[in-house]
Structure 1
């Protein structure tokens, strides 16, 4: 990757055309997937992943389908579909619904917003999503800090920028994570990828060659140290790039989650032991945690972390206020702000050493009751476990 002056970078970026098919097939393929999922596709996946039976057909809808000879492919077999799915989920375009049946579909309101954007705005909205919101937790994988995909992207791009165009696929693309990262770079036009025209039995076609593009180099340099970071008020990607693209006036923004008033009935459980808590929507997650631990007779002298999945499928972490790093803190998040419904759960990890893992399940929300009241434990089952296996007199 050749280092360029800021003026040279601006020149390359300002000259770029973002009509469908440029600088990569992103908008063509995203639209193909949006159309295919418009009314919903049944899925049994816990994470609302694209169903196996549809993958071969969806692959054929793409601008450049990947050759394969697989009888029962999985989503990770088609890295282009996997990358596009992550983008649509993280952006809020693709959502999971459980009633009347479990489907992955395109949110009608989000599609309407999408269609109101011009090509530059569509491209940049998805790129902003890719660089700050997409992570592997959408598909149920662990990603402690939520930036592993972006780290993988930076690492692969630096490797490619220092390699000849002919690549050793086994070396650079040894797993589906790397292949997904490569196809995302290709979709956005940051690299060009050539696949074999045929595939071996039971496999997908190999990547034969890869080359970076001037546009990709310029974008990479312009983004600098931005990686998986987004504050509540402004995306760092927008702050850095919007001035270079006059046509980028609007962005695809997910619907705001309304505050949900009411009386919450929560089941606080560990193994087969549980306590029931009733609390108003205005109760903070810090207070919920304190009440749970008190109900289990635990000393609250250790840090904790709460986690749940937002509507895009991403794993969200809410930190103990005593912990200085994070985006969300338990004393700042109210129960009514958590984007979960009846039957959904949050996890609570208490004491990072002993790793006590509790589950907080929303049993019901009575939205007709909006008056404030003191949270209270209303039922219990089972004897609470001992927090420590030793007595005060033990040394």
Structure 2
């Protein structure tokens, strides 16, 4: 059945533009976003943040300590709250990942830590408060996937403006009318409690929590109405507005900067991806943590992941009779697979087409190599360093610990 669809596009009226132009942005205006975000960064810079094994979220004890420092701490009612019961902390964690400030490193058998990205910190310190605000808004709206912080919104698009839960925030458009009781009931789960808290931290809504998982009141501010109506894209499907995420222009390179610069003369630059140094080869530690064994390889940057897989299996005396894939993350925490060509998954890169130089790797990063999809041998690849010498092929330089038997 064919449907007549139309894009719903909202542009600024002079009155709306004036709201954005006259808004003051500082550590505490329009809310406490920048102040609380910097508190998170200061803790990461002081000491790596221990993350949980499953969702790779900050552990509860750490989350509770940061929560106590926030301008408006969350108030869990449970005797033994979990990290998810501190939605403001979880929201700030999403911003740290999607803005590129936090890198996850391995620290033992399935032990993960969040460390600071010094390159992004250097950029951050050169930005004005207004530029910092819109940089974080860009990271949240365009890259804020729920899966990055171990959450699941149950939608095709798990970012705030693309998920089904956004429908409970609007009646076709976003307005200053208070959200109805049904919306208040479902928003923490359908939109994510962390996203609800970020709405407040960005100064886009005024809200009251009844407890850590139930809303009592939520109402958009004038700034929230203007920005969300401007950035949100939806499809009109026979009178029903279906969320489609952000306006396409925001997904372009430096999209947010191009959009907001005409609004504010004080916006000259926003955060941008860090420049990655190109090396001719990489020193890689390949580990099977559970078996306390390690192999160190020097891998030319031009080697394909197929060749790297063969070298790993050979170094551990494994056969190469099973399928495999690599699990990677970009600098913003978004994960992706690079798979054996025989898996033939649509829209997925294959290991015989992708070279090591195609991955945005920096020393300290790690990848996961999964071999044999039934047993799932999980090898952790730690990028130790990059070097400017190019060997003729992949070289095994060190072997520690006895490798397990494959079968």
The partner residue of 1:19 within 26, 31, 35 is 26
Deviation of 1:77 after TM superposition, in Å, equals 0.2
The partner residue of 1:78 within 61, 86, 105 is 86
Tell me the residue number matched to 1:173: 187
Cα deviation, 1:71-125, whole Å, max 9, x if unaligned, reads: 3322110111110111012212234456799754544553343222111100011
Tell me the residue number matched to 1:244: 263
The partner residue of 2:353 within 328, 331, 344 is 331
Tell me, in whole angstroms, the C-alpha distance in 1 between the residues paired with 2:249 and 2:304.
23
Tell me, in whole angstroms, the C-alpha distance in 2 between the residues paired with 1:41 and 1:171.
36
Equivalent residues in 2 for 1:198-217, closer than 5 Å: 199=211, 204=212, 206-217=214-225
Tell me the residue number matched to 1:132: 142
**CA distance change for structure 1 residues 212 and 265 in 2, over 3 Å: closer, same or farther?**
closer
Tell me, in whole angstroms, the C-alpha distance in 2 between the residues paired with 1:4 and 1:369.
51
The partner residue of 2:121 within 104, 108, 111 is 111
Deviation of 1:130 after TM superposition, in Å, equals 0.5
What TM-score do the two structures reach when normalised by structure 1?
A: 0.71
Deviation of 1:14 after TM superposition, in Å, equals 2.7
- Are the counterparts in 2 of residues 40 and 106 from structure 1 also a CA contact under 8 Å? no
| Structure 2: gaps of 5 or more residues | 1-7, 172-176, 234-244
What TM-score do the two structures reach when normalised by structure 2?
A: 0.69
Whether 1:308 and 2:325 are equivalent positions in the alignment is no
Equivalent residues in 2 for 1:311-322, closer than 5 Å: 311-318=331-338
**CA distance change for structure 1 residues 384 and 261 in 2, over 3 Å: closer, same or farther?**
same
SS in 2 for 1:210: strand
Deviation of 1:263 after TM superposition, in Å, equals 5.9
The partner residue of 2:167 within 146, 154, 158 is 158
Tell me, in whole angstroms, the C-alpha distance in 2 between the residues paired with 1:67 and 1:90.
26
| Structure 1: gaps of 5 or more residues | 386-395
Tell me, in whole angstroms, the C-alpha distance in 2 between the residues paired with 1:88 and 1:158.
26
Tell me, in whole angstroms, the C-alpha distance in 1 between the residues paired with 2:249 and 2:286.
33
Tell me the residue number matched to 1:59: 67
Cα deviation, 1:162-212, whole Å, max 9, x if unaligned, reads: 37445347732353862112112222222221234xx5xxxx374211112
Q: Which moved more, 1:87-96 or 1:314-323?
A: 314-323
Tell me the residue number matched to 2:236: none
Tell me the residue number matched to 1:120: 130
Cα deviation, 1:47-81, whole Å, max 9, x if unaligned, reads: 66323223333223222222333333221101111
The partner residue of 1:282 within 272, 281, 302 is 302
Tell me the residue number matched to 1:183: 197
The partner residue of 2:47 within 40, 44, 49 is 40
Report the structure, 1 or 2, having the larger strand content.
2
SS in 2 for 1:6: coil
**CA distance change for structure 1 residues 333 and 143 in 2, over 3 Å: closer, same or farther?**
farther
Cα deviation, 1:24-63, whole Å, max 9, x if unaligned, reads: 3322321232334430155253466323223333223222
- Are the counterparts in 2 of residues 172 and 178 from structure 1 also a CA contact under 8 Å? no
Cα deviation, 1:235-265, whole Å, max 9, x if unaligned, reads: 3333333332322211123533323433656
Tell me, in whole angstroms, the C-alpha distance in 2 between the residues paired with 1:213 and 1:318.
43
SS in 2 for 1:149: coil
- Count how many residue pairs are aligned between Structure 1 and Structure 2: 369
- Are the counterparts in 2 of residues 308 and 317 from structure 1 also a CA contact under 8 Å? yes
**CA distance change for structure 1 residues 235 and 261 in 2, over 3 Å: closer, same or farther?**
same
**CA distance change for structure 1 residues 107 and 151 in 2, over 3 Å: closer, same or farther?**
same
What RMSD in Å do the two structures reach over aligned CA positions? 4.8
**CA distance change for structure 1 residues 232 and 222 in 2, over 3 Å: closer, same or farther?**
closer
**CA distance change for structure 1 residues 106 and 383 in 2, over 3 Å: closer, same or farther?**
closer
Equivalent residues in 2 for 1:342-357, closer than 5 Å: 344-347=366-369
Tell me, in whole angstroms, the C-alpha distance in 1 between the residues paired with 2:369 and 2:71.
41
